[in-house]
Structure 1
């Protein structure tokens, strides 16, 4: 398969409309249709179910869409990293979600800058899901990702911090005085749907919740009583007095990881990762010391 064919197929699979896909690719529709038919003949599978009303992906088409995105990201990443490797000034690009892991990021940058071998680090603050994309397509050398929201398959990673989640409600909501709530209770709230974040292709999943793109937009919608949100507990400090916060014990824990390309041979990346691991080790030691102090206080 050629990268040109993969780009054609991804456009059609994401738009599910040959006309819109052709417009997106700046080409005529007939050659696009012929290219997809030729791809299906060569693979010996049907990728798209076509009717007069709609186009849908077959199971084979869904697999190719996922694999084609990975392949195109790899090609794009190779181009970008090759050009950056030839740059006069070495440096790293670190991508992270805006507002997430702020304390960790600040400490990591300060500790790494103190290393005599440190290179310049450009920090790219992104929306949800974007750090993973930038790392995959070569726009970033390293990223702070958050499982289970981000996918780390194909990356080398180190876990840095795991935390529980909370639900954020408008102040005065009937659940605000509860010591905790369950995910089932949150999902059943008729007046406060969970928000819908954009998918990779820019479209939104179906559902009753409002479409959101950033944290500021989301918190304002919560204040207005139009939504609630499940968030990592560390974001508590960024919320305002007109929000209520309730723990959700059965929500999946969120683990912050530092991720980088699995085939990387960059000394700068290795040094930055080593600094992050050292910080996490120190943080764990401090937690253990505090736990020992509390136990000793209880015994006395």
Structure 2
């Protein structure tokens, strides 16, 4: 008989193929996952994973065990959720997103989750960048797909789900508009339209709306907006430029505005976060569903 942690550790590691991310999802230490997998392998009498300093992958026996256990585990999880609804009250989870491409992924995951767990209610909410943590801290949102980095003592972060190249949104007549790409140093020669930062961590603002270039040159700061549409208006009217994921061109393109790659900027990483305490029991299965939906993204 498998213990619960053995089962969850094995199936999660089989999905993530990374001990650190597995530990994050199960809210235990990496060493605990390693010990649990070793204990399971000793009981079975054969290795389930091949692992070294660079890779983790399933052995043929591990693949067989995963394929046999996953359907049964999903059914058990669904039954537990259904049984816990009690008094005809459905369990619910609210998932937040900050960018349209994150929202698309959340919607696909929610559709799959509702099929897998028909007794669960999934609500979806757009989160404003000027207050990226407030809805979670108030308890209104259980899970959020958002721009990293997020380093907060009361919030747990999972693995990076996907990354997008960074770009610069510039007005059509701007000198940058005719370039194939720009650099972070070039920001010293432009006015950067930003967002209001009263409720945004300073480290997050410095990562996306820096005040200095890598060499230390000051970056002129333009209007601090309260909503993303205001950024689009300021840029399209020639007031300044703004950093953005290049993928935004598919959603926010408009006349007189150009999206230019920033060739030396780190990518924008998108990951999941949830409250460190009082976690909704639906968070764990929803995390797995999002990971599956991201594969086909």
The normalised TM-score by structure 1 is 0.57
Structure 2 residue 233 is matched with structure 1 residue 220: yes
Give the superposition deviation at 1:180: 0.6
1:273 paired residue number: 287
Long gaps (5+) in structure 1: 1-84, 284-300
Q: Over the residues paired in the alignment, what is the CA RMSD in angstroms?
A: 3.0
Map residues 1-300 of structure 1 onto 2, 5 A cutoff. Answer: 88-97=89-98, 99-117=100-118, 119-148=120-149, 150-151=150-151, 154-189=155-190, 192-200=191-199, 208-238=221-251, 239-263=253-277, 266-283=280-297
In 2: Cα distance, 1:282 partner to 1:201 partner: 32
In 2: Cα distance, 1:152 partner to 1:94 partner: 19
Give the superposition deviation at 1:115: 1.2
DSSP-derived class of the 2:290 partner: helix
Give the superposition deviation at 1:134: 1.8
DSSP-derived class of the 2:282 partner: helix
CA shift in 2, pair 1:116/1:196, >3 Å: closer
In 2: Cα distance, 1:242 partner to 1:216 partner: 15
Give the superposition deviation at 1:88: 3.9
In the TM superposition, what whole-angstrom CA distance separates every residue of 1:200-246 from its partner, at most 9, and x where no partner exists?
A: 189x9997410201121110111111121000122111221321111
CA shift in 2, pair 1:156/1:185, >3 Å: closer
Select between 218-227 and 262-271 the one with higher mean Cα deviation.
262-271
The normalised TM-score by structure 2 is 0.58
Select between 101-110 and 246-255 the one with higher mean Cα deviation.
101-110
Q: Which has the larger radius of gyration?
A: 1
Long gaps (5+) in structure 2: 1-85, 212-219
Give the superposition deviation at 1:282: 3.8
In the TM superposition, what whole-angstrom CA distance separates every residue of 1:66-105 from its partner, at most 9, and x where no partner exists?
A: xxxxxxxxxxxxxxxxxxx999442111222253523322
In 1: Cα distance, 2:141 partner to 2:171 partner: 36
In 2: Cα distance, 1:257 partner to 1:118 partner: 26
DSSP-derived class of the 1:256 partner: strand
Contact 2:142–2:280 (CA under 8 A) maintained in structure 1: no
CA shift in 2, pair 1:107/1:236, >3 Å: same
Higher relative contact order (CA 8 A, sep 6+): 2
DSSP-derived class of the 1:94 partner: strand
